[in-house]
């Protein structure tokens, strides 16, 4: 395996530090009342960042074949799309049924 373009121990530690920090921010945002309005989008974005960091660096996807990204990313996007579709159907239907 080539050593260039490959994460080092330092990178792993830095990623770990970022993950911990983001988690602390998430918990903080959860507890601070002023942020309630933007809680959901902020948390979604922050957790997406954590997700991406673990996948790209710890799972080495950034440095591996782009095909692996496709193998993982395709079904992941599918799962997201289906989840969103299902939520629209369920909550959209509720609105239509109750006429509100």
Partner 1 sequence: MARDTHAPPAHGHRTSMGLDSRKMAFWAFIGSECLLFGSLISTYLVYKGRSLVGPYPHEILNIPFTSFSTFDLLMSSLAMVLALAAIQRGDMKQGKLWLLVTALLGLVFLGGQFWEFSHFVHEGLGLTTNLFGSTFYVLTGTHGAHVTVGVIWLLTLWVQALRGKLGPANALTVEITGLYWHFVDVVWIVIFTVVYLIQ
Partner 2 sequence: MKSWLTTTDHKRIGLLYFWTAFVFFLIGGVEALFIRAQLARPENQLVSAETFNQLFTMHGTTMVFLALMPLSAAFFNYIIPLQIGARDVAFPRLNAFSYWVFLLGGLFLNASFIAGPLFGADRLSVAPDAGWFGYANLTSRQFSPGPNVDFWLLGLQILGIASLAAGFNFIVTILNMRAPGMRMLRLPVFTWMTLVTQFLVITAFPVITVALVLLMFDRFFGTHFFLPQGGGDPILWQHLFWMFGHPEVYILILPAMGIVSEVLPTFSKKPLFGYTVVVYSGVLIGFLGWSVWSHHMFSTGLGPIADSVFAGTTMLIAIPTGVKIFNWIGTLWGGQIRFTTSLLFAVGFIAMFIIGGLSGVTHASAPSDLQQTDTYYVVAHIHYVLFGGTILGLFAGMYYWWPKMTGRMLSETLGKWHFWLTMIGMNLAFFPMHFSGLLGMPRRIYTYSPELGVAGYNLASTIGAFTIAVATLIFLVNLLRTRGRPINAPANPWGGATLEWAIPSPPPVYNFTVIPTVESRLPLWQTERHAPMTPLPERPPAPIHVPGGSWWPMITAMGMPIMAIGAIAHLLPVVIAGALVVVVGIYRWAYEPFEM
Residues that bind partner 2 (CB under 8 A): 67, 74-75, 78, 81-82, 86, 88-89, 92-93, 96-97
Cβ burial 10-39 (10 Å sphere, 16+ → b, else e)? eeeeebeeebeebeeebeebeeeeeeeeee
Residue 44 touches partner 1, criterion: CB under 8 A:
yes
Distance CA(45)–CA(51), nearest Å, equals: 10
Name which of residues 65 to 84 contact partner 1 (CB under 8 A).
65-68, 71-72, 74-76, 78-80, 82-83
Q: Which of 31, 20, 39, 92 is nearest to 12 (CA)?
A: 20
Beta carbon of residue 87, minimum distance to partner 1 (angstroms, whole number): 6
Beta carbon of residue 86, minimum distance to partner 2 (angstroms, whole number): 6
Beta carbon of residue 78, minimum distance to partner 2 (angstroms, whole number): 6
């Amino acid at each position: 395996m080539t050593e260039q373009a490959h994460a080092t121990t330092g990178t792993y530690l830095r990623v770990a530090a970022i993950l911990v920090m983001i988690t602390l921010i998430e918990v903080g945002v959860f507890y601070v009342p002023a942020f309630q309005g933007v809680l959901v989008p902020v948390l979604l974005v922050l957790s997406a960042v954590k997700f991406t960091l673990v996948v790209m660096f710890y799972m080495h996807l950034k440095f591996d074949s782009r095909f692996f990204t496709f193998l993982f990313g395709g079904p992941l996007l599918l799962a997201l799309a289906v989840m969103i579709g299902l939520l629209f159907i369920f909550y959209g239907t509720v609105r239509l049924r109750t006429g509100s």
